[in-house]
Amino acid sequence: MYDDQLTNRGTYGIVQVGGDLVTWPGSGDHRFHVGLMGGYAHQSTKTRSSDIGLTSKGKLSGYSAGFYATYMNDKPEATGPYADLWVLYQHFTDKVNPSNASEESYHSKGWTGSLEAGYTFGLKDWVSASGTQNATRLQLQAQVIRMGVRADEHIDAENFTVQGTGAGNVRTRIGATAYHLFTNPKTGRAIKPYLTLNWYHDTKNFGVVYDGVKDRIEGTRNFGEVKFGIEGKVSKNVNLWGAALYQAGSHSYWNAGAFIGAKVLF
């Protein structure tokens, strides 16, 4: 945070479902998809002050619902341009348990939207002696996200007013992903390790105003990210993935995380 005394740690889980309402082909290998999606999220966090040695815990849970529209180049070699738009309404119940105090709760809600576009370049394709198909790709990406979720004004147990800041932030991301795809044509299974480099810019700082005193997370207006991951297609309808990332910005800001997940197609 602004005074360099607070450390935040947390875990979260997300379940998201969606499906196409309409798909249609364009000219050549171009395809368009429009559909609906929804999800549920839960997060647990712990914040500790190094100055006074106190710890507070927080929980967040809620849902989202919205739509998406995607354009892609459906070439077999998976190269060419793509564009993706999505808009979600999100509603969360937030709970905080300060040290030596009872649990408090409030709500946050709002709209979040994203527009992303990119281009995938084919670098090399070959078939190994064992029959495995190999494909090396480089994908360049640009994305703009408007973060419109806003927390309700909250009166805590000490009768102080607590307000969140940062709602309406516009986040810009530019990045590049290099990956290699190993495909077994006999079984249909595939493995894709990848490396992603991203640069982010935020228009606002996230933080809190506590009884008129402002505190904010410094170092997140501009920060870089390195992510390494692997995706695996284990069957026709099931994909597994895992990733680890590291983010760093100014004011000694850093964030590290590891993620695992599964994607099931119906």
Q: List, in order of start, the domains of the chain with CATH numbers.
A: 14-264 (2.40.128.130)
Q: What distance in Å separates the CA atoms of residue 266 and residue 222, rounded to the nearest whole number?
A: 39
**pLDDT tens digits along 215-230:** 888 888 999 999 999 9
Tens digit of each residue's pLDDT (9 = 90 or more) over 97-126 = 877 778 889 999 999 999 999 999 999 999
**Helix H or strand E segment including 13:** strand 6-25
Of 214 and 100, more confident: 214
Q: pLDDT per residue over 48-86, tens digit each?
A: 877 777 788 999 999 999 999 999 987 778 899 999 999
pTM: 0.90
CA angle 86, 189, 69 (to 5 degrees): 10
Tokens 């619902």 label which residue?
A: 65
Compute the average pLDDT of residues 154-171. Answer: 88
CA distances from 217 to 4, 45, 162, 250, 253 (A): 9, 15, 16, 11, 8
- Give the pLDDT of residue 5: 66
**Confidence band, pLDDT 50/70/90 cuts, at residue 4:** low
